A = this chain, B = another copy of it.
């Protein structure tokens, strides 16, 4: 059985050999560009891992891996438009490099191409894989909508936040593992435990993302920290700090968020002081650990060898206990 790093490599090779149609170039070339700017290929590797738990013919699942990777990139291209983001992984976003219409239409065709790759799966598995992709894709759109809604809302709860990241981020990670497993021959029941496993890991993954944006090592993370603080982004850290401020009738944080700051470092320092005061780092780590624990409880239900469970467990280091 391969580990995640080997499967990432396998997928990367496959991706480099697959070509979109040549014409119309204005439709397909932007997708080739966007897929070429990288990414860790976590989702396709998870699909292959799911398959590899049940079969050695892991290459059979490559089209499913491709489907989830293309779907993920479709969401990124459209999200970048909605977020007005100029850069993604240090490269120009599609609407920035080309234009708005290209980002919309190339994104659309990428979503359809994701389904088209799914159509290359073994026919017997198509109904269940198709149902999972549909459900997941709808949830990801709903997650993006909640994210947009919450950005405009003054107060959101931790529960609302967790539900939002579950939809926006976790379900696709979970569906990737599950779809691969089903295609590899897992029973639907077993695939559901794998789904739950990856779902909770995915939530821990996103909370770790929030954590690293504030407490990460900029050299390892690859970007300056505090970006979320500057944007008043409603991460679990900010939501928790606002809750505790409210409980203590302390308006300091709200004031900092509403003020204009000439110096970004100054705002980051002020917010971080409050995070320190309320022990937000500790709370955040405890939440990460909580979802990691939850994920592990699903492993008990899996009829897999110790070796395979260990490979599954090692996902936690790639997804959660990472410093970048």
Contacts and interface: CB of A to CB of B under 8 A. Distances in A.
Contacts of A101: 81-82, 148
A90 interface: no
Contacts of A112: 111, 134, 137-138, 141
B141 A109 contact: yes
Contacts of A119: 127, 130-131, 134
B138 A105 contact: no
Contact of A104 (B21, B104, B131): B104
Contacts of A189: none
A108 B74 CA distance: 10
A104 B82 contact: yes
A16 interface: no
A272 interface: no
A26 B149 contact: yes
Contacts of A144: 105
Nearest to A81: B104
Nearest to A123: B127
Nearest to A167: B24
Contacts of A100: 81, 100
The main secondary structure of chain A at its interface with chain B is helix
A112 B71 CA distance: 11
Contacts of A286: none
Interface of A: 21, 23-24, 26-27, 78, 81-82, 100-101, 104-105, 108-109, 111-113, 115-116, 119, 123, 126-127, 130-131, 134-135, 137-138, 141-142, 144-146, 148-149
Contacts of A78: 104-105, 108
24 contacts: A21-B142, A24-B145, A24-B149, A78-B104, A81-B100, A81-B101, A81-B104, A82-B101, A82-B104, A100-B100, A105-B141, A105-B144, A109-B141, A112-B134, A112-B137, A112-B141, A115-B130, A115-B137, A116-B134, A119-B127, A119-B131, A126-B126, A126-B127, A130-B130
Contacts of A105: 78, 82, 141, 144-145, 148
Contacts of A82: 101, 104-105
Q: How many copies of this kind of chain does the complex include?
A: 2
Contact of A148 (B26, B141, B146): B26
A85 B131 CA distance: 34
A109 to B, nearest CB: 4
A142 B27 contact: yes
Contacts of A104: 78, 81-82, 104
A276 to B, nearest CB: 35
Contacts of A126: 126-127, 130
B134 A24 contact: no
A26 B141 contact: no
Chain A to chain B: the 3 pairs with minimum beta-carbon distance, closest first: A27-B145, A109-B141, A116-B134
A145 B26 contact: yes
B115 A134 contact: yes
A116 B145 contact: no
A70 to B, nearest CB: 12
A148 B106 CA distance: 13
